[in-house]
Amino acid sequence: MKVVALVSLAAVGLSAVAAEPFKVDRSVMNEKYWQIWNDAEQAKIDADIEKYRKADCKVILEGEVPAGTEVKVEQLTHAFFFGAHIFNYNQLGKTEWNNRYKELYGTLFNSATVAFYWRTLEKYPYANRFEERYEDTENFWNNCPQPKDQAHWRRPAPDPVVSFLKTRGCRIHGHPLVWGNNSWHTPTWLWDDFCPENEKFALEQATGVKLPRRDFRQPMGVKDMSDPTEVSWSGAWAKIYKRLTAQQIAALVPTYVKAQKDFYERRIAEIGKRYGSRVDSWDVVNESATDWARGAKLTWPEGESSAFNNLPVTLSWYGLMPANYAYQAIVLSRKYMKKDAWLNVNEYNMEAFPGQIADLVAHGADFDVVGSQMHLFDPAESVKIAAGSGPAHLRPRAIAERFASIMKVAGKRPIHLSEITITAPDNSKRGQMVQAIIMRNCYRAWFAVEKMNGITWWNVVDDCGAPGEPSISGIFTRDMRPKTAYFAMNDLINREWKTNLKVKVEGEERKVAFRGFRGKYRLSWKDASGKQCEKLVEVK
């Protein structure tokens, strides 16, 4: 996994390393909040960061280096992944804003999540939109009056994004390969074109439920616009599930069941062929734990009647899905992706997730990382947190406990905080400080978790989220002005968690010893003749 050296943001008016540490304005939070995030909790977080995120390094320098020679130690990269999605690549409406956005990757962020949503990547069967077309260009978006009305808003073509990230030295994370969601991911043509009309008719006759016909031109998440009285896709399937078993559904639509399974494999194979050597990690299955909890399990308790392993389909809350689809996504991804690619299982349902992970592990699923989400979407929740209440799982002790159950079943697999949203109460000076403080304390607590390997912020820019997501959850305003949360995040990544110091050569062995955050370093010194020397080392 590659990470990049930190470079200057002077070209866009930001400073990569603040001259002064970020100053927390404690007055914006109620004293009850600070009682929760008290000095003792902060000290424990500091101790765990020191224990889990740092390591000792001993280096023998080359040449004649007298004892006592001063050596400058500069950290160049982080081993920990500080990421964000890059869904708004060239889409912000002005070149100046786009440049500032892109400059963040390789400076603040050393990891980026790239969109591979099936619905917009393959709008028509057998026609993947990998390459940049005119509608993906900066010129198109700079002249687009209503960008959110475009079906590919937040869904740039992957080729130019991956190529850009390579120039920045960023780790590249693909998201997602398999997801059951029929509004956000599954293309409408899969059902419309590959379920024969006689099979659709048979299903409708057997259930009395008419499934909506969808179109990629419609906004995501809407009902069938040709018939406003019709239920949504998920609502229609919910009715079907009450009337038919999985076996009965599969018997009525056998052609579609086979087509769905075949297209899933074909999709993973094509993406693997094109990006397998260029993308470092993948969310191979997204948000499937709810289906697991509903019954899509590999293991069943003794005495519980189920023929699940013999079923052709899963009655997903999203809609019909192939049986064992989470497990099969891992099998197919391991088959078609490069051998050293990290395969992630990504989830938001933390109640069901440990059970699903244990089930996958028990059946030998070959995946590498556990991906966990945390979206604080409601601004009212941030107000509650500032008052000393709010979600219990965002308190320091609860954060550690939240991941303890996952670590217990995941074995040696690390945890990736794959999608993080923390919304400001509002964009006033006070509101921005509240967001920054919540972010800062949560990042510190997450960074202190032993098995954590990365944190990925979701929407970098205000008003650039998906429908239903808050408009003030970015760390930049819509016109790319940095918010308080940006300065707080930058302070953590580029100052507090970055080791820069000077040490002395010990004895005649030319030994240098120091302790620092894991990552790559440059050591520089002058030898006995006065020649400037340097050495690159890695702290693991």
List b or e across 283-294, with b for residues whose CB sees 16 or more CB atoms inside 10 angstroms: bbbbbbbbbbbe
Alpha-carbon span 194 to 510, nearest angstrom: 70
Residue 89 has a CB neighbour count (10 Å cut-off) of 26
Output b/e per residue, 348-386; b: 16+ Cβ within 10 A: bebebbbbbbbbbeeeebebbbbbbbbbbeebebbbbbb
pLDDT of res. 312: 67
**Interatomic CA distance for residues 29 and 285, integer angstroms:** 38
Tell the burial category of 169 from Cβ atoms under 10 Å away from its Cβ (0-12, 13-18, 19+). middle
How far apart (Å, rounded) are the C-alpha atoms in residues 83 and 85? 7
Give the pLDDT confidence score for residue 224 in this predicted structure.
43
- Per the rule left: phi > 0, alpha: psi between -120 and 50, beta: everything else, 211 is beta
| For residue 482, cis peptide bond before it (omega within 30 degrees of 0) | no
Return d(Cα 362, Cα 127) in angstroms, integer. 38
Q: Is the distance from CB of 454 to CB of 416 less than 8 angstroms?
A: yes
Listed residue (443, 445, 508, 435) closest to 473, CA to CA: 435
Sign of the Cα pseudo-torsion (493, 494, 495, 500, in order): positive
Question: Distance between terminal CA atoms of the chain?
Answer: 13
Instruction: Take residue 147 and report the two structure tokens written for it.
Output: 């960008």
**77: which DSSP letter?**
-
Find out whether 128 and 121 touch, Cβ atoms under 8 Å.
yes
pTM of the model: 0.92
Question: How high is the pLDDT of residue 314?
Answer: 76
H helices, E strands: number in the chain:
18, 17
58 bridge partner residues: 513
Token couple for 266 = 């074909």
Check: CB of residue 73 under 8 Å from CB of residue 516. Answer: yes
Q: What's the confidence (pLDDT) of residue 223?
A: 45
Class level of CATH domain 10-45+77-182+248-302+321-500: alpha beta
- Whether the Cβ atoms of residue 370 and residue 281 lie closer than 8 Å to each other: no
In angstroms, rounded to a whole number, what is the distance separating the alpha carbons of residues 513 and 115?
A: 42
**Distance between CA atoms of 500 and 72, rounded to whole angstroms?**
8
Q: C-alpha angle 380/381/383, rounded to 5°?
A: 65
Tell me what pLDDT residue 215 has: 54
In whole angstroms, give the CA distance from residue 495 to residue 492. 6
- CB of 75 closer than 8 Å to CB of 500: yes
CA 62 vs CA 381, 515, 516, 522, 535: distances in Å: 56, 20, 21, 14, 9
What b/e readout covers 179-212, taking b as 16+ CB neighbours within 10 angstroms? bbbbbbbbbbbbbeebbeeebbeebeeebebebb
* Cβ(514)–Cβ(73) below 8 Å: yes
pLDDT at 14: 57
Pairing type for strands 70-75 and 519-526 reads antiparallel
What residue spans define the domains of the chain? 10-45+77-182+248-302+321-500, 56-74+502-539
What's 128's DSSP letter?
A: -
Contact 367, 360 (CB under 8 A): yes
Amino acid at 153: W
Q: Are 525 and 69 in contact (CB under 8 A)?
A: yes
Closest alpha carbon to 133 in 112, 99, 100, 158 = 158
d(CA 403, CA 442): 13
CB 111 within 8 A of CB 190: no
Cβ partners under 8 Å of residue 101, min gap 6: 88, 89, 92, 460, 461, 476, 480
Q: Cα(136)–Cα(121) distance, rounded to whole angstroms?
A: 12
C-beta separation of 382 from 346 below 8 A: no
Return the exposure string of 236-274: e unless at least 16 CB atoms fall within 10 Å of the residue's CB, then b: bbeebbeebebeebbebbeebbebbbebbbebbebbbee
CA distance 528 to 338: 47
Per-block mean pLDDT, blocks of 10 residues, the chain (540 long)? 37 50 96 98 98 97 93 98 98 98 98 97 96 97 96 97 98 97 88 94 94 57 47 80 86 94 97 96 96 71 43 75 91 95 96 94 95 96 96 91 92 97 98 98 97 98 94 97 98 97 92 97 96 97
